[in-house]
Amino acid sequence: MAKKKNKLENGTVPKAMPRLAKDTLSKINLGQSFAEYDPILLKPDVFVSTPALLSAADASRGKYFYVGRRGTGKTAITIYLETKFGDRTIRILPELFSYIGPDLNIEDLRDTRQRPFKSLVSCFKRSLLDEILAKWLNEHRLKTNRLPPAISRERNYCENYDFDLRMLEFVDDIVAALKSGNEKEWLRLVRRPKDLAEEMEDEREGQLWDNRIVIDRIDESWDGSDRAVILLMALMHACVELTPTVSFLHPFVFLRENIFERVRQVDNEFARLETAVVSVDWSQEQLMEMVERRLNLPSNTKLPLRGPTWNYFFESSENDSSRTLVFEYCQERPRDVLTYCSFAIESAQAQRHDVVRIEDLQAARRRFSDSRLKDLGDEYQENYPQIQLVLSRFYGLGREFTVHGLTVFIQKLLVDEEIKQYCASWIYKYTAPEYFAELMYNIGFFGIKVGDATIFRSLGAKSPTPPPISRTTNLVVHPSYTDALNLQNVVVDSLDPSMSLQKAGLLTELPGAINLADYNERLTQMLENLDSLPRGDAAAAKYEEFVGDVIRLCFFYSLTNVEARVREHEGRAIRDWIAANRAPSGFWELIRLRYDATQIIWECKNYADLSSDDFHQCSYYMTAEIGRFAVVCFRGEVKEHYYGHIKRIAHQTNGLLLPLTDKDLKVFIRQARHGKSKEDHIQEIFDKTIRKIS
C-alpha cells in the first residue's frame, strides 16, 4: 500500500524535493558567527523576523532598550537598521563609560530623583539632540544665517565635537555649577535640552528629518564600576524622558544582559525603564530558519523554509534527529547554532559527505563545547572576575548535582588557593548552595530539574528568578559544557574528602609559561605606568618595550613569535615589532585573509603628533611576503588629516595602516586583566578607519 504524502499546514501536498546535487555541500558557508565580521548580513533575505527585529524596524512601538546575552543577535539588528534605513540611522559606539566624570561623587548620583543624577540625564539628552542637529547641519537642512538662538549656541558642539567629547564638556560644566552653588547657571544648563528640543521641533519639516540613533557595544569600554552603571542609567533615563517630547529622534540602546541586570539592581526608578525593554529571544523554529536562509544563499532556486531546507542538508536517523542534536545541545542563541552547524559542515566537507550526517554533528561537539565554555567565562568576567577558574573545577565530575553534592563542591572551592585569591571579590557571597545554584542558573551553566524536565534560564531580559530550589532539587549542567569538562553521566551526591578538584577542562592559556598571579600583576603595573611614561626620544625605547608587552600579554591567543627591532635582509628597514598572525578565527583571521598579513608590523612613536614621514615609513614595511597591514602606536589623538595619509597608503599598497592611541592600549590591558579575549575594540577602530577612507 502506498504511503500517504505529507501535507503542509494549509492542506496542500508539497512538490517532491530535488536531491542534493553532488558537491553542493562543499560550496556552503554559513558565514561568521560574530555579526561584526559577517559579510553575509549585507545580503538580502538573510534576516529572520524575530520580535526584537520587528520592534526595532517600527519606531512607533516605543521600545528603546534591546537586551540579550552575548551572541543573541543584538549587533545583527543594528546592521539590519543601517541597511534598511540607510542615512537616516546614526550609529554611536560610546567609549565614555570608563573615562567620563572621574570626579563625580557616586553616592550623590545613586538617587535618581536628586539634582546630581538629573544633571547627568540632562547632559545625555543634550548630547543626543546634538547628534541629530549635527546631521541636519551637515546635510544643509538648516540655514546657518538664520538659526534660532538655542540652536545657534549649540552649533560649535555639533561641528567640532563627537558624542563622547560633548558629554565630557557638558558634565564638566554642570558639575562645576552644582559644586559652586551657582543656581542660575545650573538651571540654565538643565533647561538647555528642553529649549533646544522645542526649536528643533519647530524647524523639522516632515519625516525625512527624522533619525534613528543606534547605541551599541557599550560593554566595549565597560569597566564594571558603579560609576559606569550610573552613567548607563542616566543614558537610559534620557532616552525615556526625551522621546515623548520630540518626533525626530528614535533611540535604540543594545545592552548585554549582565550589564542590564546591574541597572535593574541599582536604579530606584527602574519601572520607568522596564516598559521600554525588548528581550532579544529566539525560538527553535526561528533559529532553524536562520540556518536555512544561509544554506539557501548560494542557490538561485530557494528551497522552502521551516523544515524542508534543513531536511535537505541535514540527515536524521531512526534514533537521532539532527534538529534535536543541534537545538537541544545549543542554548537557543544564533551564535551558538551557527558555530555548531559550521563545525558540523566542515566535518562533512572534510569527509566528502553529500549531506551533514549524524556523525558529523557528533564530531563537532567537542570543538563546539570547548569554544562555548571559554565564551561563557569571557561573558561574565565583568560581573564575576576569573569565573572561569570556578567553572574549570567541575572538570571530570558529574553532569548532575544534588544540593548536598553541590555543598561539598563549594566547600572544596573555598579552600582552593587560586579561587581564594582571584575570586575573593564575589565567591563568598555565594557560599550557600541555594545562592551558588542560582548564580550558575543565571549565567546558563546550571539547569534546575523539575520532575522529568530540566529548566534552563531564558536568554533575554526576563526576570532571572529561578524555579524554587529545595534540599531535594537536582542541578543539571547544560549539555553544551559536558564535553569540554569531560563530565560523567552520574549524579554527584558527595565527593571524597581527600580528592582535590581538577583544574583541566578550561585551560587558562598564558604566554611564556607565566602564572596567573604574575600575569595580573604585570597588567596592573602596565596600566599604572602608561600615564607616567614620558614622551620623546629619551623614553622611546621604554615605550617600545611597553607596546611589546601589550602584544605579548593581550594578543597571545592570535599573535605569536613576537620579535623586536627586526631588520630586513638588506638592512634598510627596521620594524619595531613583528608578530606572526596565526589566528584561527575573529578579527586577526579577517586581517590575514583580507591583507595576506601572515606577519603583523607594529611601529611605536613616543610622541603625540604623527607626520607624513611616519606614514610613509609604515607603508614601506608592507610587502607581498609579510602582508599589507601594519599598526602604528602613538601618544596623541587620531586627527582627521591622518585618514588622508592612510587613504593614500591604501591606494598605493592595497593595504591598511591602523592607528592606536594610549586610550586603545588601556582598553586592551583592562580586558586582558579581566580575563577577556575580546576583539570588539580593535574591530571598531578598523571599521572606523575603513569608513573614513572609503
Query: 425 with 483, same domain?
Result: yes
CA-based nearest residue to 124, from 217, 219, 201, 230: 230
Which grid cell sits at 207? 519625516
One-letter amino acid at 35 equals A
For residue 155, is it within any domain? yes
Interior angle at CA 686, CA 685 and CA 689, nearest 5? 85
Reading the block at residue 513, the C-alpha cell is 609559561
Tell me, what's the pLDDT at 593? 82
Residue 43 lies in a domain: no
Does residue 259 sit in the same domain as residue 359?
Answer: no
Residue with cell 552575548: 70
Instruction: Look at residue 680 and tell me if it is in a domain.
Output: yes
The string of pLDDT tens digits covering residues 612-622 is: 999 999 988 88
Q: Does one domain contain both 310 and 275?
A: no
Domains held by the chain: number: 4
Distance, in Å, from the CA atom of 162 to the CA atom of 637, rounded to the nearest integer, reads 13
DSSP 8-state secondary structure symbol assigned to residue 23: T
Mean pLDDT by 10 residues, the chain (694 residues): 41 48 78 82 89 91 90 91 90 78 76 92 96 94 92 93 91 91 94 96 93 88 80 94 93 90 89 91 93 90 88 78 88 91 91 89 89 87 87 92 95 93 94 94 92 81 71 93 89 85 53 68 89 91 92 86 66 72 79 89 94 91 89 94 94 92 90 69 87 85
- Same domain membership, residue 482 and residue 530: no
Among residues 361, 379, 397, the one where a domain terminates is 379
Q: Please state whether beta strands 446-450 and 488-492 pair in parallel, antiparallel, or not at all (unpaired).
A: unpaired
User: Which of 279, 303, 338 lies at the terminal end of a domain, its last residue?
Assistant: 279
Residue by residue, what is the 3-state secondary structure of 138-187?
A: HCCCCCHHHCCHHHHHHHHHHHHCCHHHHHHHHHHHHHHHHHHCCHHHHH
Are residues 124 and 271 part of one domain? yes
pLDDT of residue 352: 87
pLDDT at 631: 94
- Element containing residue 401 per DSSP (H, E): strand 398-402
Of 70, 69, 71, 73, which Cα lies nearest the Cα of 458? 69
Distance, CA of 433 to CA of 439 (rounded, Å): 10
Domain identity same for 413 and 346: no
- Tell me, yes or no, whether 474 and 517 share the same domain: no
Residue 176: C-alpha distances to residues 179, 238, 479, 508 (Å): 5, 21, 55, 46
DSSP-derived secondary structure letter, 557? T
User: What range defines the domain where residue 451 resides?
Assistant: 389-492
Residues 185 and 317 in one domain: no
Task: Among 379, 399, 433, give the residue marking a domain's end.
Answer: 379
Is residue 8 in a domain?
A: no
Domain presence at residue 20: no
636-664 per-position pLDDT tens digit: 999 999 999 999 999 999 999 999 999 99
pLDDT at position 4, please? Answer: 40
The answer to whether residue 3 is domain-embedded is no
**CATH number of 523's domain:** 3.40.91.30
Residue 39 is assigned to a structural domain of this protein: no
Q: Are residues 107 and 194 in the same domain?
A: yes
Contact yes or no for 345/298 (Cβ under 8 A): no
223 vs 426: CA distance, rounded Å: 16
Residue 604 within a domain: yes
Residues 80 and 216 in one domain: yes
Q: Are residues 78 and 137 in the same domain?
A: yes
Residues 292 and 270 in one domain: no
Where would I find the beta strands (DSSP E) of 62-161?
65-68, 89-92
d(CA 388, CA 422): 10
